[in-house]
Chains A and B, each alone.
Chain A
Amino acid sequence: MKWLTTFFGSSIGKKLLMSLTGLFLILFLLIHLIGNLQLLKNDGGMSFNIYAKLMTTNPLIKFISYGNYFFILLHAFIGISLALYNRTAKGQKYAVAANNNTTWASKNMALLGTLILAFIFIHMGDFWLKMKLDQLPMVTYPGIEGEIKDLYFSVNETFKQPLFVGLYVIGMIILAFHLQHGFQSAFQTLGINHKKYTPIIKTIGLAYAILVPLGFAIIPIWHFLMK
């Protein structure tokens, strides 16, 4: 197994882990968004609460979500260690900054990532912890067996506060920049750079980087304005 440890110790091996975990998180965000869009339905939170129950009780989804926590932490851990290593590998900076056409995001992935991590912790404290710690009121719906947790209530309470609405919107702007570079970069790391496909990947990547964070950000804004 020495070959495998050598591989994951190599620069390209570590970047492969960044790419694969990043792509997994991209897929996760899309599914997360589709679920969250239930919050925009005008049914007093019924479909959202049913969705939230499914997400926290279905064994398969539970399994995937533990994988998800692990991948976020792995991605963050390798990402930060790469950035620290790269800083020492550069050593002294230039007196004059270059003005080549590279993106700001590509040079600040670790900063953006660390802010995303902070956001994730705040976000988990807001909703995930409340769901786990049974601090939520219970509701019943016709046709659904038993009582289920009213996470919708908690979402509403949180997004009554302008501070949280602002925080979530800023969090999504940060995510958008991380994805602006990250989406297409993950494919380059995988070795996919092709005259036919790369322009398509870049277009989809940009669309994703704008639309998915926008989709997430609309929810707190909509709740704030409508309720």
Chain B
Amino acid sequence: MSEDIKLNIKVWRQKNNKSAGGFETYPVNANEHMSFLEMLDVLNEDLVNQKKEPVAFEHDCREGICGTCSLVINGQPHGPNAGTTTCQLHMRHFKNGETIVVEPYRAKAFPVLKDLVVDRSAFDRIIQAGGYISVNAGQAPDGNAIPIGKNKAGKSFESAACIGCGACVAACPNGSAMLFTSAKVTHLGLLPQGEVEAERRTEAMVAQMDKEGFGMCSNIGACEAECPKEIKLDNIAFMNRSYFKAVFGGELE
């Protein structure tokens, strides 16, 4: 079994938020069973051994559920595989001898802090603006205690799969956060516990999203194509409907 692969990693290096960055290329000897992040760990060990500054990148769960890992790999957020986070992307999907270009997410609302690390706190502020249910919704209710249609429950569950990674913003040529925001609005707005304040939530989250300086949606669909959790554009349509309803149907406070 030949499992070792030699790669050249062309990676974005940037000292801090103020400095201008640039690409550096490093050779890496990896194993095809490694994840992309493990490959970067190997690169960083090499760099530390050479008394060089390791490449800063974000990671946490390494099992595709936390949304901390990011990276734009050969032009694609989370790399070439559909429905896969960077931490779940394995090196067997790359060719021996290949040069892989690794860049940070690009969007004005996601400024680069260092190397591949960007500041995604704008997402936190969108959640703080309304991505919650105001009352204590209690423990997980007994099955069928709250009647809810199967399709609605299923749709809400699909939207809830969003891990807030920001790949949608990174993929969007406009730097728009509509897919992320709409996934939250749809997830909470479809369930009985969240439906009560759906309109107020949508208004508040959209207002915060605009305030953060994200771009506007041109319905291009790059977000949907790159989302590791396969969140669909119909979430955005749901949010638009909810927003129109809030603005034109809602009371004046």
Q: Residues on A close to B: CB < 8 A?
A: 3, 6-7, 10-16, 82, 85-86, 88-103, 106-107, 109, 181, 184-185, 188-194
Contact = CB atoms under 8 A, between A and B. Distances in A.
11 contacts: A11-B217, A15-B240, A16-B244, A85-B215, A89-B214, A90-B108, A91-B107, A96-B101, A99-B75, A102-B221, A184-B219
B109 interface: yes
A192 B175 CA distance: 23
Interface stretch (B49-57, B138-146, B187-195, B231-239): B231-239
B222 interface: yes
A85 B216 CA distance: 8
Nearest to B253: A3
Chain A contact surface mostly? helix
A89 B213 contact: yes
B101 A100 contact: no
A34 to B, nearest CB: 29
A104 to B, nearest CB: 10
B236 A188 contact: yes
A107 B209 contact: no
A91 B173 CA distance: 9
Nearest to A11: B216
Nearest to A93: B106
A85 B72 CA distance: 23
A10 B233 CA distance: 19
Interface in B203-227: 206-207, 209-210, 213-222, 225-226
B215 A90 contact: yes
A112 to B, nearest CB: 12
Contact of B237 (A94, A97, A192): A192
Given A90-B106, A100-B222, A102-B220, A193 B75 contact: no
B85 interface: no
A16 B237 CA distance: 12
B165 interface: no
B84 interface: no
A188 B218 CA distance: 10
A89 B175 contact: yes
B176 interface: yes
B152 interface: no
9 A-B pairs with least C-beta separation:
A89-B215, A193-B237, A191-B241, A96-B75, A86-B174, A100-B225, A191-B240, A86-B215, A89-B175
B106 A12 contact: no
Contacts of B75: 94-99
Given A89-B174, A102-B221, 5 more contacts: A6-B207, A89-B107, A89-B213, A100-B171, A184-B219
Contacts of B175: 86, 89-91
B180 interface: no
A95 B74 CA distance: 9
Contacts of B219: 106, 181, 184-185, 188-189
B199 interface: no
Contacts of A93: 106
B123 interface: no
